[in-house]
Amino acid sequence: MVCIYYNIGLLGGLHNSNAPLRGASLADFPCMKNAYLITQQDYILEYGSMLELPFEKYPSAHRIDVAGGALFPSWCDSHTHLVFAGSREHEFVDKIKGLSYAEIAAKGGGILNSAAKLQQTDEQELYELASERLSELVQAGTGAIEIKSGYGLTLEAELKMLRVIKRLKENSPVLIRATFLGAHAFPNQYRDNPDSYIQLILSEMIPAVAKAGLAEYIDVFCEKGFFSPEQTVLICEAGKKVGLRPRLHANQLSVSGGVQVGVSLHAISVDHLEAMDEESIRVLGCSATIGTLLPNASYFLRMQDAPARKLIDAGAIIALASDFNPGSAPSGNMNGVIAQACIRMRMLPEEAFNAATINGACALELESKCGSLQAGKFANFFITKPIPSLAYYPYAFGSNLINKVVLRGKEIQ
């Protein structure tokens, strides 16, 4: 079926190229005012000015009056931990009261708390919880998403998480990428013998994940007190051998060397980057590795934000993602992420839109399918209430401006 969306007040994200945007080009978010867009089945067919609206070319097309609203490509959220067993709001309250990370961990909080809950939760229940979260994100405009394992931390529980992600992939209109994150934290029983957990990852988990075809990527939390740069290399090299491309948690809490390791491994992305020195900024700026910024995490943890402006000035490719997880970023709403990127990290609205659409798609290696409005790509977009300008969207940060969501050409109710 052909659908004509007309009376579009602002049509945005009209890139001609799928190349990731860096430096000054990140501020170029091509838009057209007073436009139409035509879809056929799952795909975008064409778009143009309302002055050339081709109703007569498609006499039997379904016509949708957008009534002056804006139409933007769906968000591409390239870093989430969407599959988890339970929320952790009691830790949130402990943090408000001033408890330290170590005190919270001593009370049974943190990643190991999520792992214990997940190990005890059955696969069907995990799927239902995750599916509900994903539906909520779809209504908030997300059309492509990366989901990590990493709350299993045993062979069986990691595979369980990845099977849940596979089911989401099969049953959701959202484009989904799966990442194996067995190296998220050291389980308690390996505290005194971390090398044997690394061995478990190398000799059992990675081969099993690869054999079952359950992931596209491998991730490591490269951080002081977690996984060292050397351990990160070992794990990622083993992943690469079986076709899992690295993407890393890097430089969240300290200048960990994670950026340099990621670049040397040709990681698709290094994510977080709150703790950056000049050398790490320079290395990333000269590389093809994407720097994925996660302002939800620094906001929720009351930490310093990633130096977005310095990274953009250094020529780095910047993407924005939600980091949706129960401990440090309990929101997957990308509308909030782009608002925070503008408010707290001084990214321009155009830069934030690009970082959360086309550059996010590049970080998912889905840039030929989504991330911009281009003929032949999936008809993945959302329609807003009429807005006076692009900048109004992150500016009105508390308003839900989305009227309609379309994925693969179909309106999502």
User: Residues interacting with Zn ion, by CB under 5 A?
Assistant: 323
Three-state SS for 238?
helix
Distance CA 345, CA 341 (A): 5
CB of 54 to Zn ion, least distance (A): 45
Q: Which CB atom, from 99 or from 301, has the smaller least distance to Zn ion?
A: 301
CB of 100 to Zn ion, least distance (A): 21
DSSP 8-class letter at 27: G
DSSP 8-class letter at 55: G
CB of 297 to Zn ion, least distance (A): 7
Q: For the packed helices 334-345 and 349-356, what is the interaxial angle rounded to 10 degrees?
A: 140
CB of 113 to Zn ion, least distance (A): 16
Distance CA 2, CA 64 (A): 11
Cβ-Cβ contacts under 8 Å for 90 (sequence gap 6 or more): 109
For every residue of 114-179, DSSP letters joined together read: HHHHHHHS-HHHHHHHHHHHHHHHHHTTEEEEEEE--S--SHHHHHHHHHHHHHHHHH-SSEEEEE
Three-state SS for 347?
coil
CB of 140 to Zn ion, least distance (A): 19
Q: Which CB atom, from 355 or from 390, has the smaller least distance to Zn ion?
A: 355
CA gyration radius for the chain?
21
Whether the CB-CB separation of 151 and 84 falls below 8 Å is answered with: yes
Distance CA 334, CA 296 (A): 9
DSSP 8-class letter at 186: -
The closest of 36, 43, 32 to 64, measured between CA atoms, is 36
Q: Which CB atom, from 223 or from 323, has the smaller least distance to Zn ion?
A: 323
Q: Which CB atom, from 150 or from 409, has the smaller least distance to Zn ion?
A: 150
Q: Which CB atom, from 274 or from 323, has the smaller least distance to Zn ion?
A: 323
Q: Which CB atom, from 38 or from 185, has the smaller least distance to Zn ion?
A: 185
Distance CA 185, CA 225 (A): 9
Three-state SS for 235?
helix
Q: Which CB atom, from 323 or from 367, has the smaller least distance to Zn ion?
A: 323
CB of 78 to Zn ion, least distance (A): 11
Q: Which CB atom, from 80 or from 374, has the smaller least distance to Zn ion?
A: 80
The residue of the chain with the least Cβ separation from Zn ion equals 323
**Positive or negative torsion for Cα 93, 95, 97, 103:** positive
**Of all helices (H) and strands (E), which one includes residue 221?**
strand 217-222
- Write out the two tokens for 204: 């059992």
**What phi and psi, each to the nearest 5 degrees, are found at residue 182?**
-60, -30
Three-state SS for 317?
strand
Whether the CB-CB separation of 155 and 204 falls below 8 Å is answered with: yes
CB of 359 to Zn ion, least distance (A): 18
Q: Which CB atom, from 64 or from 145, has the smaller least distance to Zn ion?
A: 145
Q: Which CB atom, from 12 or from 182, has the smaller least distance to Zn ion?
A: 182
CB of 392 to Zn ion, least distance (A): 30
Q: Which CB atom, from 129 or from 293, has the smaller least distance to Zn ion?
A: 293
Residue 236: Cβ within 10 Å count: 27
CB of 329 to Zn ion, least distance (A): 7
